[in-house]
Amino acid sequence: MEVYKFGGASVKDANGVKNLSTIVNQTKNKQLLIVISAMGRTTDALEKLTKAYFEGLDTVSEIFGSIRASHEAIADELFQDKDHPVFNDIANTFVEIEWILEDEPFDFDYIYDQIVSVGELLSTKIVSHYLNYAGIDNQWVDARNYIQTDNTYREGKVDWTKTSHLIESQLTALLQKKPVITQGFIGSTSENFTTTLGREGSDYSAAIFASCLKAGAVTIWKDVPGVLNADPKWFDQTELIPQLNYHDAIELAYYGATVIHPKTIKPLQNNSIPLHVRSFLNPQAEGTTISNTGKPLPIPSFIFKVDQVLISILPKDFSFIIEENLSHIFDILHKYKIKVNTMLNSALSFSISVDNDEEKITKLITALSVTYKVKYNKDMELVTIRYYNQQTIDRVTENKKVLLEVKSRHTCQMVMKDNN
């Protein structure tokens, strides 16, 4: 059996749903589990709705109305018969949010998951009905009956023992009968409360199902031709990487290549399940295959992160940075859940580059300033080059001033800004 994952961009409108149905129809392997994200930018909109509800803004009903209208419009375009059960299904799903919105808000993270998860419930219901309508008999299942997590809302940690037991014992038989449609991104606690796995977590869901089912392969259908050696947003000349090993894929995802969610690779690698990244706009093309190939990346790859803050931390009395300081600094970073994108240690200072999340960074700098002298520069860019050489370094640093550079054997990272 195989797992297909369709992201938000692939089902952003009625044509997207029709295209998905064509791709599924052309698949030879009929034992298929299809994991789907929320349509288009629905998750962002539901996030906005949750915030507005918490802040007691009067935009709540407007945001809610527009999310509802966009889903109804897609269904309208897909189903000629206005008595089709899909319309009832959509209405009932929205009722779940309405109930929450009528109450007083409490516990942001918990409420967030109960509201935001509805995006995936809606998209899968619409797609499942549409596939049936188009003659592709399928079964809609609720991912929350399978993916079991702890109660870390917005970042549920998967209970692998329970999850794999449920998936193996209940989904295997179903998949032999017909394709199964389910949601990415969502799971459930042991008390049956909905959790989410973290933004962009649908790839991870696909990997969880695949590893528990010992799938033959996972295909992530995207709006790019596969894994490229750089993001076309920053580079005009990019190249497709046809074959990639798990190790390089993890490194690229870790440094911020957004093509695959970083948590996705491990469950697949542990079970030697190949991961295909292919374009839903050009389904005939091969795309990229990530597998156990021994070969390293054939070409240097670039990952850009903008809006970085470069923070230098120095003991106030010019003493050396020692292990004790580092341990203290990391405790503070951990406390504010700050991910360090790169770091460098010298005798008198410790420097890090982090994403500019205003709220977190302000708290971090305040906390560090109690013990250390803290200097920082905003609006920095971080470039990571995997399999670098001097030529690639020269290329990205043209007209830039490099403030920090860290090199290992295969990876070079530079924090820089425009040279003016």
Residue 144: CB minimum distance to ligand ASP, A: 15
Closer to Mg ion by CB, 119 or 300: give it. Answer: 119
Q: What is the DSSP string of 159-201?
A: -HHHHHHHIIIIIHHHHHHS-EEEESSEEE-TTS-EEE-STTT
Closer to ligand ASP by CB, 254 or 320: give it. Answer: 254
Judge whether 8 is annotated as a binding position: yes
Closer to ligand ASP by CB, 43 or 188: give it. Answer: 43
* C-beta separation of 361 from 386 below 8 A: no
Closer to ligand ASP by CB, 43 or 384: give it. Answer: 43
Among positions 57-96, residues that touch Mg ion (CB under 5 A) are: none
Phi, psi of 155 (to 5 degrees): -155, 45
Judge whether 120 is annotated as a binding position: yes
Question: Both ends of the chain: CA-CA distance in Å?
Answer: 56
- HSE at residue 263, side-chain half, CA atoms within 13 A, is 17
- How far is the C-alpha of 232 from the C-alpha of 95, rounded, in Å? 41
Beta bridge partners of 351: 312, 344
Judge whether 5 is annotated as a binding position: yes
The enclosing H or E element of 222 equals: strand 217-222
Side chain identity, residue 387? Y
Judge whether 51 is annotated as a binding position: no
Closer to ligand ASP by CB, 70 or 397: give it. Answer: 70
Judge whether 239 is annotated as a binding position: no
- How far is the C-alpha of 223 from the C-alpha of 103, rounded, in Å? 39
Residue 223: CB minimum distance to Mg ion, A: 11
Binding site partner of 350, from Mg ion, ligand ASP, none, Cβ cut-off 5-8 A by kind: none
Binding site partner of 267, from ligand ASP, Mg ion, none, Cβ cut-off 5-8 A by kind: none
Using CB under 5 A as the binding rule, whether residue 37 contacts Mg ion is answered as: yes
Binding site partner of 373, from ligand ASP, Mg ion, none, Cβ cut-off 5-8 A by kind: none
Side chain identity, residue 330? F
Q: Which stretch binds Mg ion (CB under 5 A): 29-37, 213-221, 318-326, 388-396?
A: 29-37
Question: Sign of torsion, CA 201 205 207 212?
Answer: positive
Phi, psi of 386 (to 5 degrees): -95, 130
Binding site partner of 184, from ligand ASP, Mg ion, none, Cβ cut-off 5-8 A by kind: ligand ASP
Q: Which stretch binds Mg ion (CB under 5 A): 34-42, 86-94, 240-248, 288-296?
A: 34-42
Using CB under 5 A as the binding rule, whether residue 287 contacts Mg ion is answered as: no
Judge whether 233 is annotated as a binding position: no
Closer to Mg ion by CB, 143 or 414: give it. Answer: 143
Residue closest to Mg ion (Cβ):
8
Using CB under 5 A as the binding rule, whether residue 7 contacts Mg ion is answered as: yes
Q: What is the DSSP string of 230-256?
A: S-TTT-S---B-SEEEHHHHHHHHHTT
Closer to ligand ASP by CB, 21 or 42: give it. Answer: 42
- How far is the C-alpha of 10 from the C-alpha of 19, rounded, in Å? 8
Residue closest to ligand ASP (Cβ):
202
Residues 6+ apart with CB under 8 A from 232: 224, 238
- How far is the C-alpha of 204 from the C-alpha of 136, rounded, in Å? 26
Residue 387: CB minimum distance to Mg ion, A: 28
Binding site partner of 199, from Mg ion, ligand ASP, none, Cβ cut-off 5-8 A by kind: ligand ASP
Binding site partner of 309, from ligand ASP, Mg ion, none, Cβ cut-off 5-8 A by kind: none
Cα R_g (the chain), whole angstroms: 23
Return residues touching ligand ASP (CB under 6 A). 7-8, 37-38, 43, 119, 184-185, 199-202
Closer to ligand ASP by CB, 178 or 199: give it. Answer: 199
Closer to ligand ASP by CB, 201 or 300: give it. Answer: 201
DSSP-assigned letter for residue 42 = H
Residue 200: CB minimum distance to ligand ASP, A: 4
Local structure of 56: helix, strand or coil? coil
Strands 400-407, 411-418: pairing is antiparallel
Q: Torsion over CA of 73, 76, 78 and 81, rounded to 10 degrees?
A: 170
Using CB under 5 A as the binding rule, whether residue 16 contacts Mg ion is answered as: no
List 6, 8, 183, 205, residue binding Mg ion (CB under 5 A): 8
- How far is the C-alpha of 33 from the C-alpha of 178, rounded, in Å? 9
Q: Where do contacts with Mg ion occur on this chain (CB under 5 A)?
A: 7-8, 37
Q: Which residues are annotated as a binding site for substrate?
A: 43, 120
Specify binding-site residues.
5-8, 43, 120
Annotated binding site for ATP: 5-8
